[in-house]
Amino acid sequence: MNLTDRPRRLRRDGVRELVSETDVSASDLIAPVFVDATTDERVPIETMPGHERVPIEQAVDRVGEIRETGVEAVIVFGVPESKDSEGSRAWAAEGVVQEAVRRISAETDAYVITDVCLCEYTEHGHCGPLEPDAREEPTLTVDNDRTLDLLGEIAVSHADAGADMVAPSGMMDGMVGAIRESLDEVGHTEVPIMSYAAKYESAFYGPFRDAADGAPAFGDRRHYQMDPANSREAMREVALDVRQGADVLMVKPALPYLDIVRDLRENFDHPVAAYNVSGEYAMLHAAAEKGWLDLDAVAYESLLSIKRAGADLILTYFAEDIADRL
């Protein structure tokens, strides 16, 4: 045996850390927060152990708990007190997200991001008002261009309430440009846009739709979210968002789409975010509950893989648990 190349030499404790290429730190993580205008108590989210919907009055406390773990950024989702066909509670100045963000930004030092979408606010659960679609069954689809106006209003209402960054998640064509224009028109030129640029029509969002009460009442989101079969299309989507002024580019979900995270890292210079979604969280919890996986270990390994693939920031329901252990 004449083995000169022995990679095992660098795997011993002591040197192992020195040659480690990637790590996860609390400052990479964004914790989702669900604020619910229909309750005055915290409601556990059954499919996402450890997470709750909190009433507006407890939004500040909830963010305080997150900040204590070292996580600095949150993304706020709202469950409104009522829904209609247009989703009008989404841009109401005293809507659930606006009220929560006003308090969070006044009373905490968290960096506050808001999800800009209509699916939690429309009674049909789609990401914008509907229009007849003559070309296909089902005969209704989201009215893209009308939705753009509404997304602009939502983003402005969030920024007015104190949001530090807005994150449009509806996969409407032109959404980043429309939001940038609306924000700039009223002077919110400093509010960045994190675009859910490559968002797939994924079955991994199941638990979130319980959490935020945003499941479509009929049909699915294939008319606007991306086909999981496609990767070149993701680069096209991302390029469009870049041209429209996106500041941060997100891939969603994360683990089943690490190839897309890597493609994006290699093809663009913007910060890359990945959303480790509700189903990715729920499946690890379910396996751990059965004693089949070590939850802390697989959670950390998941986030590490997402970083290794090229993500700079990660939106994850594991944020607090992981940050706590770092």
Choice among 83, 252, 290, 307 that is catalytic: 252
User: Considering the complex, what minimum distance in angstroms separates the CB of residue 205 from ligand PBG?
Assistant: 4
Amino acid at 258: L
Q: Which is nearer to ligand PBG, 15 or 159 (CB)?
A: 159
Residue numbering of the annotated binding site for Mg(2+): 237
DSSP annotation of 88: G
Among 34, 205, 300, 318, binds ligand PBG (CB under 6 A): 205
Residue numbering of the annotated binding site for 5-aminolevulinate: 209, 221, 278, 317
Q: How far apart are CA 241 and CA 248, in angstroms?
A: 9
257 lies in the site for ligand PBG, by CB under 6 A: no
Q: How far apart are CA 97 and CA 212, in angstroms?
A: 12
199 an active-site residue? Answer: yes
209 lies in the site for ligand PBG, by CB under 6 A: yes
User: Considering the complex, what minimum distance in angstroms separates the CB of residue 278 from ligand PBG?
Assistant: 3
Of 37, 40, 70, 36, nearest to 51 by C-alpha is 36
Size of the site for ligand PBG (CB under 6 A): 10
252 an active-site residue? Answer: yes
User: Considering the complex, what minimum distance in angstroms separates the CB of residue 294 from ligand PBG?
Assistant: 22
Among 108, 278, 302, 305, binds ligand PBG (CB under 6 A): 278
Q: Which stretch binds ligand PBG (CB under 6 A): 60-68, 128-136, 139-147, 208-216?
A: 208-216
CA atoms within 13 A on the CB side of 19: 10
On whether the CB atoms of residues 213 and 79 are closer than 8 A, the answer is yes
User: Considering the complex, what minimum distance in angstroms separates the CB of residue 76 from ligand PBG?
Assistant: 11
Residue numbering of the annotated binding site: 117, 119, 127, 209, 221, 237, 278, 317
Q: Which is nearer to ligand PBG, 226 or 264 (CB)?
A: 226
200 lies in the site for ligand PBG, by CB under 6 A: no
Write down the residue that tokens 């606006």 correspond to: 98
Of 295, 294, 274, 284, nearest to 28 by C-alpha is 274
Among 198, 264, 277, 323, binds ligand PBG (CB under 6 A): 277
Q: How far apart are CA 97 and CA 103, in angstroms?
A: 10
Respond yes or no on whether the N-terminal peptide bond of residue 138 is cis (omega within 30° of 0): yes
On whether the CB atoms of residues 153 and 183 are closer than 8 A, the answer is no
Respond yes or no on whether the N-terminal peptide bond of residue 253 is cis (omega within 30° of 0): yes
On whether the CB atoms of residues 267 and 235 are closer than 8 A, the answer is yes
Query: Which residues between 90 and 119 bind ligand PBG (CB under 6 A)?
Result: 115, 117, 119
SS3 track for 254-276: CHHHHHHHHHHHHHCCCCEEEEE
On whether the CB atoms of residues 200 and 279 are closer than 8 A, the answer is no
User: Considering the complex, what minimum distance in angstroms separates the CB of residue 10 from ligand PBG?
Assistant: 37
On whether the CB atoms of residues 262 and 306 are closer than 8 A, the answer is no
By Cβ distance, which residue is nearest to ligand PBG? 208
User: Considering the complex, what minimum distance in angstroms separates the CB of residue 216 from ligand PBG?
Assistant: 8
Q: Which is nearer to ligand PBG, 1 or 97 (CB)?
A: 97
Q: Which stretch binds ligand PBG (CB under 6 A): 5-13, 134-142, 175-183, 202-210?
A: 202-210
Query: Which residues between 158 and 177 bind ligand PBG (CB under 6 A)?
Result: 169
Q: How far apart are CA 258 and CA 274, in angstroms?
A: 9
Please identify every residue annotated as catalytic: 199, 252
Positions touching ligand PBG (CB under 6 A) are 115, 117, 119, 169, 205, 208-209, 214, 277-278
